[in-house]
Amino acid sequence: INIVHVPPFSGIGAEETRYDRPYRELLIGQGKPGDILRNLLLDIHRNRPDHWEKLVSRIEETFGYHILPPQYEGLPFIVCEYLPGIPNKQNQKKLPKLDISTAGSGFLQVLMLFGFFYARSASILMFDEPDAHLHVILQKQVYDRLRQVARDSDSQLLIAKHSEVLIDSTSPEKIL
């Protein structure tokens, strides 16, 4: 059984190099999942292309942003960018590429949560306050998407939280 504890999102740096898996685990254990977000996205893109497409789709559905493939070859740091909209023929060249570090903390929290699901499928994922930094309107939508992503990735979801929105959205027999 793979068990992954994901602490609340704690911020993201402007630059992130490639880290090996044991060091990434150490950073997560120290409560710094934001320090490995780009590594997580790069792994999904390189090793699980079908999951990458699902991740991109979930982010588009939830936030209306388009995540671009991470770049690392020949660069000192992993570059992860997004478009602040979904490209189509009319706006494809008008949308600026933005580094993920410029996005809001709620968006980054959800990107990290989805990233762990798609990077570590068939796991038990323990999330502490997964709706941290989210507007109350987005909390139920994100919770519903997390449950769907858990089903898609053959994972189980354990959540520690205080949000009335999530508690009201969960059947009583599933609350401890």
Residues 74, 10: Cα–Cα separation, whole Å: 28
Q: What angle do CA 141, 147, 44 make, to 5 degrees?
A: 100
pTM confidence score: 0.80
Kindly report the number of other CB atoms within 10 A of residue 160's CB atom: 12
d(CA 176, CA 82): 38
Sequential pLDDT tens for the chain (176 residues): 666 677 767 788 889 999 999 999 899 888 888 999 999 999 999 999 999 999 999 999 989 999 999 999 999 999 999 999 988 877 667 889 999 999 988 889 889 888 888 888 767 877 777 666 667 777 777 778 888 878 877 778 777 766 676 667 677 776 66
CA of residue 102 relative to chain centroid, distance? 15
Which is nearest to 116 in space by CA: 55, 31, 27? 55
Q: DSSP labels for the chain?
A: -EEEEEPPP----S------HHHHHHHHHTT-GGGGHHHHHHHHHHH-HHHHHHHHHHHHHHHS-EEPPPB-TT-SS-B-EEESS---TTTTTTSPPEEGGGS-HHHHHHHHHHHHHHHS-SEEEEEESTTTT--HHHHHHHHHHHHHHHHHTT-EEEEE---HHHHHTS-GGG--
Tokens of 93: 């060249």
- Do residues 34 and 112 lie in contact, with contact meaning Cβ atoms separated by under 8 Å? yes
Helix axes 49-63, 105-119, angle to 10 degrees: 150
